[in-house]
Amino acid sequence: MIQKANAFLIQLDSYMGGHWWFVFLLLGTGIFFTIYLGFPQIRYFKHAINIVKGKFDKKTDVGDTSHFQALSTALSGTVGTGNIAGVALAIHLGGPAALFWMLVTAFFGMTTKFVEVTISHKYRDILPDGSISGGPMYYMKKRLNIKLKNNKVLQTGKWLGGFFAVATILSSFGTGNLPQINSISNSVFTTFGLKQIITGAILSVLLGMVIIGGIKRIAKVTSRLVPAMAILYFLGAAFVIFSNYENIIPSFLSIFRYAFTGQAAVGGFLGASFAFVFNRGANRGLFSNEAGQGSAPIAHAAAKAHEPVSEGMVAILEPFIDTIIICTLTGLVLLSSGVWNQKIENQFQVTDMTFLDGTFNDKIPTDQEKLNHFLFHKESLPLYTGKLNIEEGKMTNAVTLINSRSVAEDVQYFYGKDLMTGEVSVKNGKLDNQSGEIVVKGKSLIHSAPLTTEAFRHSFLGDYGKYIVSIGLLLFAFSTAISWSYYGGRAITYLAGPNYVIYYRFLYVAGFFFASFTDTTIIWSLSYITIVLMAIPNLIGLLLLHKEIKTSIKDYWVDFKKNFPGVKTPV
């Protein structure tokens, strides 16, 4: 059942986030606004830092949080598994060049964040209790209705905003909740041996205690948590990179070497085409910094400001910090340590395994080419159906096991904790393990958080490196879950009113708990879909309102020069 659901999600993603049209929409929007507004991510960068410092604040500004708290809340929503597990997954899929396209996405994403926060902040709502509720659904409702010739109005914006709000709720689980606790619990289990369900139970209680307090408590927690976790992770990553100092320049060059040609096969990595490298890099870049997804404007809507553009400028800093700094650090850790294309001893997950009928060797060029075409759907290979004969943990059939997109080696089969002797059923290349008692271990490529953990161990930190990843992942992912609970709550407020938010929060905490011991792969597959469902209406809405956005920015600078005549401006 899980395998069928995962296959469906992967197929659906191939038509959505994994397809060329979405990448062009995502990057195209960022490129359009970058040129249309004259590279604001460069011209306004210094000004954005001064705004965060509070240099231009007014006592009359309306909102629930400061600029810094809003930035911290939004960053806590983006700095999470995408920075630790997502980068590792991108490089696992597309090689070092995938990181290049993550960085390109982030550069143009700085402008996308600027415009989506600006227009969303402009049309935020002040609720009866004085609190703020905002996000793309509000600008959609107020600005994207269609006026007909007979003066009637089609409520297209209202329905588009409703679609976005529903997608936000789904994404709060698919992006901010399920994959975050799943990565935390697996990392803690790998590092400390603590069962996933125990980690999930403890953190679920803590999550509930934080999110019940609403945005003010969330902002207070994240404004302290984000700087601390960034410093910890930066220092740990620096230790790893400089421990492998001889690989720093080659690693950096490898990011650009195959950016426009595709990644060649190397080590256990079977290669990737340019189209796949580009697509996976851009897709993972969006998951990391969420530019264009429309999530950050919900946090920034609560910021104290008398006009919207200044808060939009604060958002410019997010993709820079999240992707250009933190993701680059993770990428250099993975590349300089050399583990990204090495086969590592690990326990295989059912959804990562595929059994091929026949024997294939990834060290033989002809087999390597066949396997490459199989992985990228250019050519089919016969999937095995039948019984595997296992003797003292070893398979005797002429069958090849593909795990994590690599040919598995030194494979052993266990029934519980004991080496297995007997038969195992395989149907259409997938292991029948409904009882969950069959355990498969061996050497293969690894991905996501386990890959980053392994990379941190390849330094003078040794086994202590894995503690940095586990603690960093715990802080990063937990803070993401906190912020996304707020995003989902604002979506509920838009759809049904603030009185129903409490029910959403209980469901959110319950989902957080159950995801701690659920299969990793299907959760990642779900997150791809929910991201796209949010991004599509938001990106289209931004393009439709491009003239209003530009006018708002011009008006901002006119007012700024009047209010601060002695301050030098970038325009």
H-helix or E-strand spanning residue 314 = helix 309-315
Structural domain boundaries in the chain: 2-342+519-559, 344-444
User: How far out from the chain centre does Cα 405 lie?
Assistant: 21
Residue found under tokens 């020069």: 561
User: Taking the chain (571 residues) in consecutive chunks of 10 residues, what is each chunk's mean pLDDT?
Assistant: 71 73 89 97 95 86 81 76 82 92 93 96 88 92 86 86 93 85 82 89 92 77 77 87 91 91 89 86 78 90 89 94 90 94 92 93 92 84 95 95 95 92 92 84 91 88 83 83 91 93 94 83 73 90 96 95 86 75
Distance of CA 399 to the CA centre of its chain: 35
CA distances (Å), 288 to each of 252, 291, 293, in order? Answer: 20, 9, 11
Q: How far is residue 233's CA from residue 74's CA, in Å, rounded to a whole number?
A: 18
245's tokens: 């100092």
The tally of CA atoms less than 13 A away on the side-chain side of residue 565 is 1
Question: What's 384's DSSP letter?
Answer: P
How far apart are alpha carbons 394 and 441 in whole angstroms?
A: 11
> DSSP 3-state helix, strand, coil percentages of the chain (rounded to 5)?
65, 10, 25
Burial of 208 (0-12, 13-18, 19+ CB in 10 A): middle
pLDDT of residue 18: 66
SS3 letters for 121-160? HHCCEECCCCCEECCHHHHHHHHCCEECCCCCEECHHHHH
Q: Which of 502, 539, 488, 525 is nearest to 108 (CA)?
A: 539
Token pair, residue 271, equals 């290669």
Cα dihedral 381, 384, 389, 395, rounded to 10, equals 30
pLDDT value, residue 165: 95
Q: What is the pLDDT of residue 112?
A: 96
